[in-house]
Every structure is written in structure tokens, then in C-alpha cells.
Amino acid sequence: MSSNNLKFIENFRQVNNLEIIESQSDVKRLSKDFYNYSPVLTEKLDGCFADLVVRPSDHNALMKVAEICWEFSIPLTLRGSGTGNYGQAVPLFKGVVMHMNRFDKLEDFDPDTGFVKVQSGCVMGDLNKQLEKYGRELRLLPSTWKTATIGGFIAGGSGGIGSIRWGFLRDPGNLIGLEAVTMNEKPELLKFNAEESEPLNHAYGTNGIITSLLLATDIKRRWYSIVIDCIEFKKTIEILKTLTSAAIDLKLGAILEGEIVDQMPTWFKSKARSHKILIQTTLGGIRTIEPICKKFNVEFSLLGEEEKLVNGISEVVWNHTTLHMRSRDKNWTYLQMLLPLNNELELISVIRKKWNKKVLWHIEAVSQQGSPRLAALPVLKWNGVEELNEIMDDCKNLGAFIFNPHVLTVEGGGLGVVDADQVKAKLKFDPKGLLNPGKLEGWEIKEQFNI
């Protein structure tokens, strides 16, 4: 570290309510996330660490951190719980990681709208517990909800449990507003309404330090978990589609191919080999699902109320499916895609013919712009980047929309295009480009857009 850098540490030491973490092992641990699900990212990120980590306990300390980073032109990367899969919270150019976990308070709840105002470092499991006393719950949860923060979910996640009903985090109506601190000479705490929040939503913390969020919540329901056994894969898709178009409350609808089921934890596996449909619904919903299962001639088991289960099905869906596959064999990696509408089976059968059991199918029901749709997080055996690209190209050519989980930038993992509003927000709130540098592609090429 240069003497200049040492000086910035001295400045941090003068700040009240700021913990400074310098131990090499802690700094390394807090510079990492779950990028190792991607061998491509592992190669790029294994050597990336911050110089030090800071943990502010109040707004004043947080704003001082921004001011010092500005003064010394030090990169600043934000961290919630570090459960992202894209290396979102990994500093590419050293500098400071700011751990947000002390910003963990529920600040306000409005019973008329059901909107909750919560600090960004609040863990979603804790937030949901607090919402319970108002008879509410979060609409959307990643399968990491027990440990991940709400700020990290908004800045780095996309959707998950609840997406079957509420779509994705960037859909209008989910995020109502936020407060964020700017990275300027004199950092300011600004309030953003829903429209103004859009460029900061899913921007990997590249254009503002989110301190609190205003979110829509749902009425708390008692969700029951059901597993439907199915011998024919084709039928699983027909059944899931029938359920998503029925007039019932659903929190989750997923399909795991038999070979994936075999590698799930022992509590979930069944003796007979079958594909499984996983559903979370209400007691009322079960009444409708029962005759649908009869019609399709398939068996279903009611596991019980999800919250009361020792092991719930929330632990084997979304990217937790990949987690369990990888705990068996680290050569499993994954893809994320929206399957072509009404052509899902055609894509799966063509990919199966060509790639056989190298690609195994895990499907999640989602709502896309208000309509039921099937997304997939297939797991695949790693056999080099060329094969990975070929599989992605095959899926694209068959009509899938890929959200590539093997890239570092906001754009690469999302729609693949630069969002000029995100870049404009960065120019305004982080003109030196110090927030999580290297993650917003549009910033690197902003001249092309006359921004």
C-alpha cells in the first residue's frame, strides 16, 4: 500500500462509530462472495481483495467513509452478506469494502399501503419476522433469505420465491423508493421515489450507497408445501402450467428432473425415481390442486406448513438446487434463462438430444410482465468455456433468453444492453467512478452514448 493509502486509513481511524477490519484473513473473507459457482468467474476473481473493510454503525460514519474515499480516490465496494453469485461484491481494484450489516433497522411500516421502510443491511429472514406482527411478509425472497440482506437483494439480486406471483424486483410496484448516499466531495443523503430509484435497482452498488428501501409487502399467508411425483417429464410442464393458470395463491412452483432429485439432501429424496414438481400454496389452493393431480393421474404429498418444517422446500429451489448439486460434485455449474413461451419442451428435448445428461433441468415458474412464464436454472457439468458458450448459443437459437451467470457486469448478467439511466445516475452520484469500479459496462463506454 502506498503512503497515500496509509494516510487514508489514518483518516478512517478518526471517524466515530466506524469499525475498521485490517486482519488479512477477515479482509479476504469479506472480499468474497459465491462467484465460485462459475469456473469462469473463479479464474477472474480469486486474486481480488480489498485493502481493508469498514463497518459503519450510523449515517455520519457512512458519509465520512464516502468523503475519505473521494478525497483519496479510493474504490469503494459495498457488501451486504456476500451471497451474490456474480462476484458483485468482490472489489476488482482493491480499495475499501464497506460492510452494511449494522444498517439493520425496520424504520417504518404503513398499515394503509403495506409499505415497509427498512435499512439496507437488514437480513431478509429477520425482516420477515418483524413484518409478521403487522400480518405482512416480503413479496419476493432469494433462496438465501436466511442470511442475505435486503439491500444486497435489490442491488444484486433479481427474484426468487414469490416471483411466480410478483415477477421480478425491477417490475414496477415492488420497489417504492429508496434513500442513498452519493459519492461526491460532500456526500449527500438523497431520497428517491419509485421512478428515480430505478437506475439504482440492480446496479451492483455502482451508482449510490443505498441506506434504506421502501418496499411493497404482501399479506402474510400460511404457505403449505406439496411435492408432486411424475414419471414423464413432459407431464411436469403441463401440470405446472395448469397450476400457474389456475385461480389459486402460489408462492412457488418448480420442477426438478429425476437426476437432480437424486442428488438433493437425503430428507428430500424419495425411494422411487421420479421427476418432482414443488409447490407452495395455501390450504385453499390444495383443494384445487388435488383434483388437477387426479386428472393427470399423479400422486402428490403434502409436506406441511413450510414455516414449520425442519427442512422446507425453499431449501431445494432457485440457486439452492445448484448449491446441493455442487456439494456432491464441484464440477456442476449452472445457467439462467427464460424459456421460450409455449416452446419449452421443444428446447429441452433438442438440448437433451445433443447434450444428454450433461445438462439437467431445473425449472421455476415466474410471472413475466403479469403473465405466467417458465424460467430455468439448468445445472451443467463443467467442460470448459467453449462448451459452455456452445450450450448457451444452442439455447438462444432455440428461443431462450439467457441471463448469463458467468459474467462480471450488470449488463452481461442482465438484458445484455447498457441502461443509459444507470450510467447517468453514476455520472451524477459517483462522478469519479469509485463505486464498485469495473462492474457497470456502460460507464466504461459512456462516450459512445454522449452521456
Q: For binding to ligand FAD (CB under 6 A), which residues are involved? A: 33-34, 77-85, 88-89, 100, 120, 142-144, 148-149, 151-153, 155-160, 204-205, 209-210, 318-320, 323, 436
Q: How far apart are CA 205 and CA 199, in angstroms?
A: 10
Q: Which is nearer to ligand FAD, 54 or 298 (CB)?
A: 54
Q: Are strands 136-138 and 18-21 parallel, antiparallel or unpaired?
A: unpaired
Shortest Å, Cβ 158 to ligand FAD:
4
413 touches 368 (CB < 8 A): no
Shortest Å, Cβ 343 to ligand FAD:
25
Q: Which is nearer to ligand FAD, 197 or 281 (CB)?
A: 197
Q: Which is nearer to ligand FAD, 323 or 348 (CB)?
A: 323
Shortest Å, Cβ 211 to ligand FAD:
7
DSSP state of 356: G
Nearest to 118 by CA among 70, 152, 79, 150: 150
Shortest Å, Cβ 210 to ligand FAD:
3
Q: Which is nearer to ligand FAD, 148 or 256 (CB)?
A: 148
Q: Phi and psi at residue 191, in whole multiples of 5°?
A: -105, 135
Shortest Å, Cβ 70 to ligand FAD:
16
Residue nearest ligand FAD (C-beta atom): 152
* CA distances for 21 relative to 28, 96, 112, angstroms: 11, 10, 42
Q: Which is nearer to ligand FAD, 159 or 285 (CB)?
A: 159
- Alpha-helix runs per DSSP H in 398-451: 410-413, 420-429, 441-444
Q: Which is nearer to ligand FAD, 251 or 274 (CB)?
A: 251
* CA distances for 430 relative to 71, 72, 121, 181, 443, angstroms: 13, 14, 21, 10, 11
Q: How far apart are CA 142 and CA 122, in angstroms?
A: 14
Shortest Å, Cβ 43 to ligand FAD:
18
